[in-house]
Amino acid sequence: MSVPYDLLKNTPNGHLPASARVPAIARPFVSERALKTLDIVEKFVEEECIPADAVFTRQIGETPVERFEAHPSIIEDLKTKAKQLGIWNMFLPKNHFTEGAGFSNLEYGLMAEYLGKSITASEATNCAAPDTGNMEVLAKYGTEAQKRKWLDPLLEGKIRSAFLMTEPQVASSDATNIEMSIRREGNEYVLNGQKWWSSGAGDLRCKIYIVLGKTDPNNTNKYAQQSVVLVPNDTPGITIHRMLSVMGFDDAPHGHGHISFDNVRVPAENMVLGEGKGFEIIQGRLGPGRIHHAMRSVGAAEKALEWFLARLNDPRKTPFGEQLHKHGIMIERVAKSRIEIDAARLMVLNAAIKIDESNAKGALKEIAEVKVLVPTMNLTVIDRAIQAYGGAGVCQDTPLAQMYALGRTMRIVDGPDEVHVLQLGKNENKKGPAHKARIDAQIKRGQELLGQYGIEVSDPLQINRVSGQTSKKSKL
Amino acid sequence: MSVPYDLLKNTPNGHLPASARVPAIARPFVSERALKTLDIVEKFVEEECIPADAVFTRQIGETPVERFEAHPSIIEDLKTKAKQLGIWNMFLPKNHFTEGAGFSNLEYGLMAEYLGKSITASEATNCAAPDTGNMEVLAKYGTEAQKRKWLDPLLEGKIRSAFLMTEPQVASSDATNIEMSIRREGNEYVLNGQKWWSSGAGDLRCKIYIVLGKTDPNNTNKYAQQSVVLVPNDTPGITIHRMLSVMGFDDAPHGHGHISFDNVRVPAENMVLGEGKGFEIIQGRLGPGRIHHAMRSVGAAEKALEWFLARLNDPRKTPFGEQLHKHGIMIERVAKSRIEIDAARLMVLNAAIKIDESNAKGALKEIAEVKVLVPTMNLTVIDRAIQAYGGAGVCQDTPLAQMYALGRTMRIVDGPDEVHVLQLGKNENKKGPAHKARIDAQIKRGQELLGQYGIEVSDPLQINRVSGQTSKKSKL
Amino acid sequence: MSVPYDLLKNTPNGHLPASARVPAIARPFVSERALKTLDIVEKFVEEECIPADAVFTRQIGETPVERFEAHPSIIEDLKTKAKQLGIWNMFLPKNHFTEGAGFSNLEYGLMAEYLGKSITASEATNCAAPDTGNMEVLAKYGTEAQKRKWLDPLLEGKIRSAFLMTEPQVASSDATNIEMSIRREGNEYVLNGQKWWSSGAGDLRCKIYIVLGKTDPNNTNKYAQQSVVLVPNDTPGITIHRMLSVMGFDDAPHGHGHISFDNVRVPAENMVLGEGKGFEIIQGRLGPGRIHHAMRSVGAAEKALEWFLARLNDPRKTPFGEQLHKHGIMIERVAKSRIEIDAARLMVLNAAIKIDESNAKGALKEIAEVKVLVPTMNLTVIDRAIQAYGGAGVCQDTPLAQMYALGRTMRIVDGPDEVHVLQLGKNENKKGPAHKARIDAQIKRGQELLGQYGIEVSDPLQINRVSGQTSKKSKL
Amino acid sequence: MSVPYDLLKNTPNGHLPASARVPAIARPFVSERALKTLDIVEKFVEEECIPADAVFTRQIGETPVERFEAHPSIIEDLKTKAKQLGIWNMFLPKNHFTEGAGFSNLEYGLMAEYLGKSITASEATNCAAPDTGNMEVLAKYGTEAQKRKWLDPLLEGKIRSAFLMTEPQVASSDATNIEMSIRREGNEYVLNGQKWWSSGAGDLRCKIYIVLGKTDPNNTNKYAQQSVVLVPNDTPGITIHRMLSVMGFDDAPHGHGHISFDNVRVPAENMVLGEGKGFEIIQGRLGPGRIHHAMRSVGAAEKALEWFLARLNDPRKTPFGEQLHKHGIMIERVAKSRIEIDAARLMVLNAAIKIDESNAKGALKEIAEVKVLVPTMNLTVIDRAIQAYGGAGVCQDTPLAQMYALGRTMRIVDGPDEVHVLQLGKNENKKGPAHKARIDAQIKRGQELLGQYGIEVSDPLQINRVSGQTSKKSKL
């Protein structure tokens, strides 16, 4: 029997259900079914997943070897419950896929916010990255055989997957720079090179790598050089050299692998969509994923604010003789956090609607805005909460330090902020000449109007100090 | 014949009409009629008002005396055009008033953004503060006689009005502090005291003051001490001592007056709603006005960004041998401005919808958020544009310096930022105990779960260094 | 008889004299004489100049014509007092000039901080820009005849001067872009072109323009094209087209002129240093001037903080029932201001010492740092004070708005922040390859050491999941 | 044989020795001997310690048990070298102690900057916290017996120590809140309670705890309740319950302990200075320690900037086709970092001089400023470097993530920022009434002067619109 969470809803100044807190402006886009599911998701996360996070953390073990061989049993228990509750695969948007739970990106976005409050919730509902993006790729571009072999067990949560794109030796935020070689040899493709930040690769259950490499590195069209192939993780020639840490956390058992490929051979039918289609595939893959990340980050920030508020109301903590919520500088930070979170949420929801109405390409600006805005907001809010907790904020006694580490990576994954800032700025700048033309025309029109109203265009005050004389134009 | 503005729409990378730029998330709330009106408003502002601003500025004159006796004729010409175009009194929301143009707060908000791009546009469409709030007060609380005498000419744009609330000697952002005395004597009220920041009081056409004072300063209920009375500006005993400047600008002919009342007598029927109702009246008055200010500020920021982009594309400006748009630090500022404006706009629109769905009281949080977020955003964007223009940015050659001055006051009018920050923070903090209870319950539940999964709650690593011995608890 | 300012020194928690507040780290560089003069300067500014500012402001008049023909008599009274007190021409550094008061740049910097607290103090002590820089140019590069004719009356405060460098149509922060033509014709130079931001040109007493133009625009060495000539302001062909405003202020009678030159002829002996020496002259001129500006800005920030603190302790201002200094968010802003001002001051003083020890060129980095750091700090502190004053902060009732306007230009004059940021950053970046080499060497050395200590360089955790097998390298 | 580090000094644009980079303003305070030692310290850190960090990290081991039983042998090798080089115990300031190396706080501060660039350097030179502060306590307040038993081996680097002050259940940044009980029983003291953030307690060589507790919890003078006693770490009743992590790092073998005391008995002669002297002891202990932390943080920031610059010049990293140093937004961050580090350094050095000239109490303001300014600066600079490295920045491939974690704690240790901000602000605010009195006097004096110069005090523009008439006061 679970802790009587429902009671909390009845506390004074208490808790409205998630469905009642959907921003007014977003409501027309949310179906009744989604609202109900949203409340189920919230309840599942708050009552089941967050308490389970403590067990998950301990079941992983201590030594590196243990940690990357662990599969915490509690995650399977949560998955069973989630399936029973009907909250499974909500991420696959209804207008593009039939395999999912039938929600829009906007509707799933609202749910993802809650998933972002727990380290187990996303996987528990089979909505965890990178599987989500990988399932989208397989569902959208995979052959029937590829779907049966990899998509089906992924959709059922039986296996996990990794997406191998980033490489250590180049600025791979620009995918044209990647160097992994995919060479056709008879009926096979042979892969050579190395990848890192292969998230999820540490997991024992991770069975399939979706690998971006170059089949045609000399193609003059630098967007036609890349291809995506499916590589089972137990193919000979693959070595995970090491697991990368994130601000001190190893993120086990999921982890982030640094992997080498030494003449790794896969059958030719493992090619996705066709040679040279790699760029197209990754472009399509990243858009919705950024929305998912962003809404989870909004949820993380909301959680940080909740922890912050809990600390402010801890009767044992009374610096200068007063509880923290009596201190104006704390209340100011609460208010700023409230505003920044709410603004970020609206931006993500608006971007999700743009994707729903067209697709990721049609929402390019909105996705870039969210990619830049949300992670920094999230870190700012978490950092304020950490500061309010002092020592407890940086250590294992609160979830805040780990949230900070995860949040920090969000400024880097799928391309660092700066890439998005520059692309967004350059696109906006394209409007510059038109703005200049209009402003120049407005100034010219203003001068015409001055004439029509009998006013000289030049300034009425002019000074001429020749030979001691001072003369001025007669004023208006 | 006007400058061929329409041509701009056809330029490459050019200008979509306003109706096509309504954020996706707001569209369900905007009627077809409002979309059409929005495009008319935009066209009127860009083609008529902005060029007219140059004439308006010069028609005011030079000396203080001239400037506060001026009534630029171009403003009447614009008003005539606006009436012909059917864009008049759009600010009165349809669900509360029948006198207006029949739009929701959200719909008018979208229009107000464009009005915010010109110094003449708001008055030209009879949507200028403080008349808008004053008309709302009269329409909502006025007697028939009061309406006929003052509301009708205001709605027609024949007179203007001022709202006299702020006082120089107290912290009047808290209205319980005001000191203006309103004493009943027979069939009259007698007013004594002083007011400042009486915006609009400088205008020759300003005929009526709506004055907040205390009829019952000793009432133990400090919210029942205040009353609102109507005072014609030519009542004996009134002196405008001086006009206040705003960051160097006098805002003539509108202006901001510092006014003294020396035994000013008005008939008893000039009381609004009844003695002791003053607090209720001003509370209702401020909500929508803050949305109007905020959306005009969004428009101002958008205009600043347009000027910024125009500068970046000026082929004569090539520091370090390259046009400004080739400089990454400029492009970064463009991107940040784009994001911050878009986030602010969504926040204002969401707040407007909340008001439309309930009323200003029901949108307390959303209005406060907007009041804090938008002015700072606006100043940040304007300041970036100023910096890109250098000397031209701070002087009269661009509208930016005056926009900055106006924008700066937005952090002060209707209460300084800090008042709203603290109230918002305190309200948010009320949820603190509930969050604490839930988090504590989650931690407790996590400990129960540890037990259920056979894991000790305490840390597996313990160190005991008695007498050279080191012992540790057996690990998990 | 003056206000008993001395009494203030005796108030509890009161005022230490300026000499006692010199930062500990700067004291070894300040002579006893400079300390005494510093206290005289402070007393003169606080007791004489700041009260005189009110008179100066009103003596200027109201209409544009009046304002640029005014010469407030109080400024001459202050000059007489300053000469009597021996505080005159302190800006000319002793190690380069004999004409000045015999102080180092560091010592004058300490004094300039106090001059920055009043709008009359710099001129009252003959330490006002642009005269200071112009006197340096004449003293350093002028012929005897030029010195007698222009330097002597400037040193005595009998005339004033302007420095004409900036041009409206180009990015003149890069002086190679300027277009003003200086053509030799027989025994004369003929000038054609326009200049703006010619500060001081509005003043009736401004008799001499120091003009930068091009005598050899086609020289392949783009730093040898420029020359500086002396042009009396009453030379035929000169028109001040208009005076530029700064954030709404006209800065009369000093002012900022937009001036055209139409075949303006001066004798050949008005050339300074020689044709093609223009770049060298302006380079030398700007360094110390930036320090002067910076220290005055530090003084302005200090004054803003004093006004801020005065407001916090105004017993009439009690929002939420408590004086402002009881509000934590105000106290936080005080603390931040204190820190930021103190850090900025140390940076300016350190830069001044660097100039004293070598010259402006040897202090390039330090000057650039100060140029970027100080103006933004100053604006931040002033803005906080404005906000605490609310309406009084933006209007004429406090000096804050005008201080903000002046402070804002400091991010633009002598080149916008961005120019200095980029040059500073690029210079710092030159160390990059050396840092990279050292870091690479340190990493390599670390790997050697690992070997020496018997540790494998590669990560101990390696994962290989071929055919269901899991193998790991034996750990350390 | 070491890597030829000296060669680096000869690279173009290369490396000046530390002694040549002492800020000009600080030079008069640095002896020739200190300059020489400074160069030795720099060379030792860069050539010996930084490469050794890699070995130290690996020698610690992998499992928690291993990590807190480790004593990396390389640290002893470094200590031997440091002693040979004569760089040992530099932290003990010459004007208070004879046991140290004979440097001032300022001189040691300059050295500490370099120690802050390596994780081994502080311990290698016996200048590591918390031993430094603990040695100061023993040297200043200890009995002869206490000194011989604990100070001597600490000075020789044979044992280590911990300072037990912070408690988990109260806001112990205010030391009056602590609850650890120290009860006299016969010839012994009995300790009960718990402590956390007992840094260094994890180390096997940590032999002595300096414990703050209450001997007289009911004393009406709340600053006389506390006492400090010396507790050997192997005293029965002590358990280290767990080691706290810092943003994911365990900081082994040093570590941060959470320790319980259950009837822990020590002889009465272990009392330091006397019962009730606890507050005095910790006050004296914290001042110089904050300077040490601050200068190490300056060094960390400098190191982060060096890594940042190294990345910008990595020829393999070419996003958008250009090396990172070609990107303006990166160069801007370099410049800002350069400025912020330099300003922070000057502030720390100035504070150190203030301590040297008086003591920690006389430098209260300066220490608080540094405590607030430096850690945030450090985090900002590190964060920029992390961002430039992308994935490499957050993982174990650069020192940046661990530096960030350490840097983050600096905003918390010795009291969170907010405590210092509020105290600093409150102290500054004490000057408020004096400032207000002076400003009021200046305004009054200005009004007198207006009269003397024949100008009316009131505004010349007054408006009175009675009965259609407009009258204005005659202007000036």
Unique residue bearing structure tokens 């320790």: D259
Residues B305 and B249 in one domain: no
CA distance B231 to D466: 12
CA distance B260 to B264: 9
d(CA C442, CA C435): 10
Residue B473 binned pLDDT confidence (cut-offs 50, 70, 90)? low
Q: In order along chain A (476 residues), what is the average pLDDT of each group of 10 residues?
A: 47 74 96 98 97 96 89 96 97 87 96 98 97 95 97 97 94 86 97 96 94 96 96 95 94 95 97 95 83 96 98 92 94 98 98 91 93 98 97 96 97 92 96 95 96 89 64 46
The answer to whether B328 contacts chain C (CB < 8 Å) is no
Q: Is the pLDDT of residue D233 over 80?
A: yes
3 state DSSP class of B207: strand
pLDDT of residue C432: 95
Higher-confidence residue of C182 and D291: namely: C182
Give the model's confidence band at B472: pLDDT under 50 very low, under 70 low, under 90 confident, else very high: low
Residues A135 and A167 reside in one and the same domain: no
Contact residues, chain A, for C243 at CB < 8 Å: 459, 461, 463
Contact criterion met (CB below 8 Å) for B341 and B367:
no
CA–CA separation, C63 and C366 (whole Å): 43
Query: Which of B312, B424, B433 is facing A432, going by the closest CB pair?
Result: B312
CB B345 within 8 A of CB B404: no
pLDDT at residue B285 greater than cutoff 90:
no
Does residue C7 register a pLDDT over 50? no
Whole-number pLDDT of residue B137:
95
For A320-425, strand residue ranges (E) read none
Q: Given CB atoms, is C422 within the 8 Å cutoff of chain D?
A: yes
What is the C-alpha separation between A430 and A445, in angstroms, rounded?
24
Of B314-328, B437-451, C23-37, D460-474, which gets the smallest average pLDDT?
D460-474
Lowest mean pLDDT among C454-468, D31-45, D177-191: C454-468
155-194 of D, contacting B, C-beta below 8 A? none
| Cα A430 to Cα A103, A419, B23, B59, D384, distances in angstroms | 35, 17, 20, 36, 28
Q: How confident is the model at residue B310 (pLDDT cuts 50, 70, 90)?
A: very high
State the distance between the two ends of chain B, measured CA to CA, in whole angstroms.
85
Q: What tokens does D311 get?
A: 């990345």
- The reply to whether D9 and D48 lie within a common domain is yes
Binary contact (A467, C243; C-beta < 8 A): no
Share above pLDDT 70 across residues of chain D, in percent, rounded to a whole number: 95
Tell whether A446 is within 8 A of chain C (Cβ): no
**Chain C: nearest CA to A255, how far in angstroms?**
12
| D322: Cβ contacts below 8 Å, ≥ 6 apart | none
Neighbours of A118 (CB within 10 A): 27
Chain C residues close to B334, C-beta within 8 Å: none
Neighboring chains of B (3 or more beta-carbon pairs < 8 A): A, C, D
How far the first Cα of chain C sits from its last, in Å, is 85
Tell the residue number behind the tokens 């990166």, with chain if given: D330
Contact B442 A310 (CB under 8 A): no
pLDDT at residue B319, rounded to an integer? 86
B chain contacts of residue A349, beta-carbon cutoff 8 Å: 25
Whole-number mean pLDDT of chain D? 92
| A43 lies in the same domain as A127 | yes
Any bridge partners for residue B191, and if so which? Answer: B182, B264
Q: Which residue in chain D is spatially nearest to C450 when comparing CA positions? A: D55
Distance in angstroms between the alpha carbons of the first and the last residue of chain D: 85
Look at A316 and D394 and tell me if their CB atoms are within 8 Å. Answer: no
**pLDDT, average across residues D325-332:** 96
What is the pLDDT averaged over residues C273-290? 88
Q: Is the per-residue pLDDT at D454 higher than 90?
A: yes
Mutation site for C-interface testing, chosen from D118, D339, D422 by largest number of C Cβ within 10 Å? D339
Flag if B328 and A13 touch (Cβ within 8 Å).
Answer: no
Structure tokens at D8: 């680096």
How far B273 CA lies from chain A's nearest CA (Å)?
32
Hey, is the C-beta of B205 within 8 angstroms of any chain D C-beta? Answer: no
Residues A2, A115, single domain; the answer is yes
- Pairwise CB contact (< 8 Å): B463 & D68: yes
With respect to residue D93, please indicate whether it lies within any of the assigned structural domains.
Answer: yes
Write the DSSP symbol of residue C67.
H
CATH number of the domain bearing residue B375 = 1.20.140.10
The domain of C447 spans: 432-468
Is A429 in the D-facing interface, judged by CB distances under 8 Å?
no
The predicted pLDDT at position D466 comes to: 65
Q: Does residue C386 carry a pLDDT above 80?
A: yes
Q: Residue with structure tokens 């900037």?
A: D305
Give exposure, B305-323, as e/b (b: 16+ Cβ within 10 Å): bbbbbbbbbbeebebbeeb
Chains touching chain A at 3 or more Cβ pairs under 8 angstroms? B, C, D
C-alpha B321, offset from chain centre: 41
> Any CB–CB contact under 8 A between B468 and chain C?
no
**Is position A475 within any domain?**
no
Tell if the CB–CB gap between B438 and A5 is shorter than 8 Å: yes
CB contact under 8 A, B68 and D463: yes
Q: What are phi and psi of A456, to 5 degrees?
A: -70, 140
Residue D471: inside a domain: no
Residues of D in contact with B463 (CB under 8 A): 68, 202, 239-240, 243, 257
Mean pLDDT of chain B: 92
Size of chain D, expressed as the number of residues it contains: 476
For A427, nearest residue in chain B (alpha carbons): B335
Contacts of D88 (CB under 8 A, 6+ apart): D82, D101, D125, D126, D157
Name which of A465, A475, A476 to mutate to probe chain C: the one with the most chain C Cβ atoms within 10 A of its Cβ: A465
Give the angle subtended at the CA of B113 by the CAs of B110 and B115, to the nearest 5°.
Answer: 115
**Chain B contact set for C396 (CB, 8 A):** 244-245
Residue partners of A21: CB distance under 8 A and separation at least 6: none
> Considering the domain boundaries, does residue C255 fall inside one?
yes
The pLDDT tens digits of the residues spanning A378-432 come to 999 999 999 999 999 999 999 999 999 999 999 999 889 999 999 999 999 999 9
C125 shares a domain with C52: yes
Residues of D in contact with A387 (CB under 8 A): 411-412, 416-418
Could you say which of D241, D464, D472 has the minimum Cβ distance to residue B459?
Answer: D241
Q: What residues of chain C lie within 8 A of the CB of B170, using their CB? A: 316-317
Q: Which of C278, C255, C168 lies closest to C205 in space, CA to CA?
A: C255
The residue assigned the tokens 């974690």 is D405
**Residue entry with tokens 């004979």:** D102
Report the candidate in A455, A369, A379, A465 with the shortest Cα–Cα distance to residue A417.
A369
DSSP H helical ranges for D244-390: 278-312, 328-357, 364-389
Q: Is residue C32 packed enough to be buried (19+ CB in 10 Å), middle (13-18) or exposed (0-12)?
A: exposed
Which partners does chain D have (≥3 C-beta pairs < 8 Å)?
A, B, C
Q: Nearest Cβ partner of C240 from A65, A257, A462? A: A462
Q: Based on the domain organization, do A420 and A313 belong to the same domain?
A: yes
CATH code of B215's domain = 2.40.110.10
A476, part of any domain: no
Contact C337, C308 (CB under 8 A): yes
> Which residues in chain A have Cβ-Cβ distances shorter than 8 Å to C236?
466
Task: Using an 8 Å CB-CB cutoff, list chain A residues near B425.
Answer: 331-335, 338
Together in a domain, A65 and A31: yes
Q: How far is CA A31 from CA A27, A37, A103, A106, C209, in A?
A: 8, 10, 9, 10, 74
Are residues D241 and D361 located together in one domain of the fold? no
- Cross-chain residue pair D246–A390, CB shorter than 8 Å: no
If 0-12 CB within 10 Å is exposed, 13-18 middle and 19+ buried, where does residue A82 land?
buried
Across-strand partners of D206? D160
For residue B35, being part of any structural domain is answered with yes
Residue C349 has pLDDT above 80, yes or no: yes
d(CA D113, CA A254): 39
Q: A25 Cβ partners below 8 Å, 6+ apart?
A: A346, A349, B25, B26, B29, B346, B349, B350, B353
Q: Is the same domain home to A1 and A138?
A: yes
Tell me the average pLDDT across D345-368. 93
CA-based nearest residue in chain D for residue B232: D466
Q: What is the ipTM of this complex?
A: 0.94
What pLDDT does D474 receive? 43
| Among B214, B244, B272, residue at a domain's last position | B272
Residues of C in Cβ contact (< 8 Å) with A232: none
Average pLDDT, integer, range B456-465: 79
Beta bridge partners of B211: B164, B229
pLDDT at C358: 87
Answer whether C443's CB lies under 8 Å from A226's CB. no
For residues D169-191, average pLDDT: 92
Last residue of one domain, picked from the residues B241, B272, B303: B272
Q: Which of residues 236-275 of D touch A (CB under 8 A)?
A: 244-249, 256
Place of tokens 């010199």: C22
In a domain, B455, yes or no: no
Say whether C69 and A470 touch across the interface (CB within 8 A).
yes
Look at C236 and A466 and tell me if their CB atoms are within 8 Å.
yes
Predicted pLDDT of residue A472: 55
Kindly determine whether residue B51 and residue A426, on different chains, have CB atoms separated by under 8 Å: no
Report pLDDT for B287.
74
Q: Where a domain ends, among D247, D272, D297?
A: D272
Q: Report CB contact under 8 Å: B417, C318.
A: no
Query: Looking up tokens 């964060």, which residue turns up?
Result: D383
Q: Specify whether the CB–CB gap between D135 and D98 falls below 8 A.
A: no
- Alpha-carbon gap: B428 to the closest alpha carbon of chain C (Å): 17
pLDDT average, residue stretch B463-468: 66
Q: What is the dihedral of CA A341, A342, A346, A347, to 10 degrees?
A: -30
CA angle C191, C193, C195 (to 5 degrees): 110
More reliable by pLDDT, C415 or A212: A212
Q: Under 8 Å CB-to-CB from A177, ≥6 apart: which residues?
A: A167, A170, A171, D318
**D30: helix, coil or strand?**
coil
Statement to judge: residues D224 and D252 lie in one domain:
yes
From CA D211, how far away is CA D190, in angstroms rounded?
Answer: 12
Answer yes or no: are the C-beta atoms of A449 and B54 closer than 8 Å. yes
C307 and C420 co-located in one domain? yes
Instruction: Determine the straight-line distance between the first and last CA of chain A, rounded to whole angstroms.
Output: 85
**Any chain B CB within 8 A of the CB of A59?**
yes
C319 and chain A: CB distance < 8 Å anywhere?
no
> Crossing angle of helices C364-389/C328-357, nearest 10°?
160
Closest residue by Cα to residue D120 from D174, D73, D182: D73
Partners of residue D333 in chain C, C-beta under 8 Å: 425
Domain count within chain C: 4
Q: Does C433 touch chain D (CB under 8 A)?
A: yes
Residues in Cβ contact with D68 at an 8 Å cutoff, skipping those fewer than 6 apart: B461, B463, D202, D203, D204, D243, D252, D253, D255
Question: Whole-prediction pTM value?
Answer: 0.96
Identify whether A287 is part of a domain.
yes
Tens-digit pLDDT profile for residues B159-184: 999 999 999 988 877 888 899 999 99
